[in-house]
Structure 1
C-alpha cells in the first residue's frame, strides 16, 4: 500500500510538474477547416446578386455624381465657354473669386439667409411636432395638412411668394393691415427681401415635422412621468427632458437644412430672376447658387462657375464638420453618450 501512495505523486510530478497540473507549453495549433467548394460558390452567388441589385445606384453614382465632380474640378482650372475647347489657366479662376465683388455679395446674402432661416425652420418644426403629438386622433389629418405643401413645386412657391408678399395688395400685408400694421415692401425693399424669403421657406416644414413627431413618440413615457412627479411643469419637461432625448433628430434636421439653405435657388430665382425680371434691383436676392447659375448658363463661364461650385463645396464641408464637432457636446444618444 505504501508503494502505491508514493508512486502516485511521483507519477503526477513526472506528468505535469510539482503541483500535478498539466505541463506548461504552447497549445497545439489547429488547422482551420477548409471552406467547402459549395459554400464558396454560395458566397460568390450572394455577392453577385448583391452587386446586381446595387448596380443601378452604383452606375448612377459613378455617372451622375462622381464623374461630374471630377470633371468640374478639372474645368475649374480651365477657361471654358462650352463652344470652344477648355484651355488650362491654372488657379486663375480661384484668384478671380477673391477679386469678384459679386461673390462676396452673393455669399453674404446666402449666409445671412441661412443664419436666420435655420433656427426659424427648426423652431417652427418642433412647435408643430409638439402640438401634433398632443392632437390625439386628429394628428393623422394634420400630418397630411402640414406635409402637403412639401409637395408643391418650387417654381409654384416662387410665384406664390410674389402674390402673398406683394407690398401693395398682397395677402400678408392685407392681414397685417387688419390689425393696424403697415406692411413693408417685401419684394422691392432690399431690407425686407430676405426676411420675406425666410418666412416663405417655412411653407415646407412638413417633412421635418413628421421626423420630429416620430422622435417625440419614441420618448419613453416613464421618463416623462418621472419628471412630472419631480415637480417639472410642461415647459420644463419639454425643454429639459424631451428636447435632449430627441436631439439626434434635431441634429439631423439642422444638418440637412443647413445644406439646403446654402444651396437655395429655385424659389428665389423664380421670384426675382425668372422671365427676365429686371423691374428692380435683385442684389438683395442674389444668392450664391444663383450667381453660379448665371456664370455657367447665362455668361457661359463654365470654368469660373466650376470654381464657384468647389468653393461652395468647401464651405458646406467646413460648416458640416464644425456642426459634427459641436454635436458631441449637445446631442444625446441612447446609452448616455454624447
Structure 2
C-alpha cells in the first residue's frame, strides 16, 4: 500500500500559511486594544522617544538655536568633566539635596503614617490635610511663599524675634539657603505618607498580637515586624522620591531667582541645565547635561534594585 508524502517545500509552505493565518487572527482579536493604545503610542514616539533621540544627537553638537548644529563629538562631555566648575558645583549641591531630603521626607512620612494607622477619629480629614502639601508644593506660588517666609524680614525671623533670637537671611546666606529647600521638600511628605499608610494596613494585626504575647516591646515590633514587612513599600517610595529629588527645579529657580543662590549654594543640576539652555543658548551642552542626569538617575535606580536582595522582603 503506497503512502503519499508531501514534499518538504509543500510542507513548509503550509506551515507558513498557517502561521500567517494565526497572526491575522491574533491581530483581529487584539485590534481594539491596539486602537486604544494608539494615542499613547503616538505620544510616546513623537513626544518622548523622538525628542530624547534628538537631544542625544544634539549633545554631540555645538548648537545655539540660531545656526545649524555643528557636530563636535564628545567635546561637550569632555568639557563637563575637565573645564566646568559650575557642573561640579551643581552635582555637589544636587547630591547633598538628595541625601538630605529623601531620608528626612520618608522618615517623616512613615512617622505620620504610623500615627494615622492607629485608627484615630477623622482619619479621612487628616489624610487629606497631610496630602495637600504634595499637591501644592511644586507650584510657583508655594515657592514664592517659601521665599517670603525665609526672607530676612519674613515670618520665620519674626517668630524667632519673639524669643529674642536674631535670625539670618536664610535665602541669601549660603550656609542655610539649601536647607530651606530641604525643609520645603520634607513638607511635601503627603504622597509617600499615603503609600506608607496603605502598606501598613496590609500588615496582619495577628503578628503584632503574637509579638505582644511573647513580650516584644513596641520598638522591637517596629524593627522586627513593621520594617521587614513594609520594606517593599519603602523601596518603592525611596526610588520614586530619589528620582523626583534629582529632577527638582521650581523651588530652586524661584527661591534663588534663577541664579543658583549665593556662591551657587542652591544651583541644582536642573537649574544649571536651564541656565545653559535658555540663558546662554548652549543647547548642545544642555543636551549633554540632560543625558548625564539620565545616566546618574539610571545608576541610582539600578543600584537600588540590586540592593533589594539584602533588605527588601517579599511575602511569598
Structure 1 301/51 Cα, relative in aligned 2: closer, same or farther at 3 Å? Answer: same
| Residues 272 and 282, structure 1, Cα contact 8 Å, conserved in 2 | no
1:75-122, Cα deviation, whole Å (9 max, x unpaired): 011111111111111111111101100000111010011111111011
* Structure 1 contact 79–88 (Cα < 8 Å) conserved: yes
Give the greater-gyration-radius structure (CA).
1
Query: What's the counterpart of residue 70 of structure 2?
Result: 87
Partners of 2:173 and 2:262 within 8 A in 1 = no
Taking the TM superposition and a 5 Å limit, the aligned residue runs for 1:1-338 are 43-98=26-81, 99-152=83-136, 153-168=138-153, 170-179=154-163, 181-274=165-258, 281=262, 283-335=264-316
Q: Deviation of residue 205 (structure 1)?
A: 1.0
- Provide, for residues 182-217 of structure 1, a one-character-per-residue CA deviation record: whole Å limited to 9, x for no partner: 433210110101111101112211111111000000
SS in structure 2 opposite 1:52?
helix
Partner of 2:226, secondary structure, is: helix
The 2-side partners of 1:174 and 1:218 are apart by: 44
Offset, 1:136: 2.7
Cα distance 1:283–1:240, how it changes in 2: closer, same or farther (>3 A)?
same
Tell me how many residue pairs correspond in the alignment.
299
**Distance in 2 separating the partners of 1:172 and 1:42:** 68
| 2:248–2:270 CA contact under 8 A, matched in 1 | yes
Q: Alpha-carbon deviation of 1:45?
A: 2.6
Q: SS state of the match for residue 46, structure 1?
A: helix
Could you state the TM-score of these two structures normalised by the residue count of structure 1?
Answer: 0.83
TM-score (ref. length: structure 2):
0.88
Match of 2:176, SS state, is helix
1:264 Cα deviation (Å)?
Answer: 1.2
Provide the alpha-carbon RMSD of the alignment. 2.3
Distance in structure 1 (CA, Å) of the matches to 2:161 and 2:126: 29
Change (3 A) 1:88 1:41: closer
Question: How far, CA to CA, are the matches of 1:190 and 1:267 in structure 2?
Answer: 16
Q: Do the aligned residues in 1 keep the contact of 2:139 with 2:250 (CA within 8 Å)?
A: yes
Counterpart CA distance in 2 for 1:211 and 1:61 is 27
In structure 2, do the counterparts of structure 1 residues 233 and 176 end up closer, same or farther at CA, with 3 Å as the change threshold?
Answer: farther
Distance 1:216 1:55 in 2: 38
Rounded Cα–Cα distance in structure 1 between residues aligned with 2:230 and 2:59: 42
- How much does 1:171 deviate? 2.2
Shift in CA distance, 232/95, structure 1 to aligned 2, threshold 3 Å: same
Aligned 8 A contact 2:90 2:269 in 1:
yes
Mean Cα deviation higher: 153-162 or 121-130: 153-162
Residue segments in structure 1 that go unaligned for 5+ positions in a row: 1-33
Q: CA deviation at 1:140?
A: 0.8
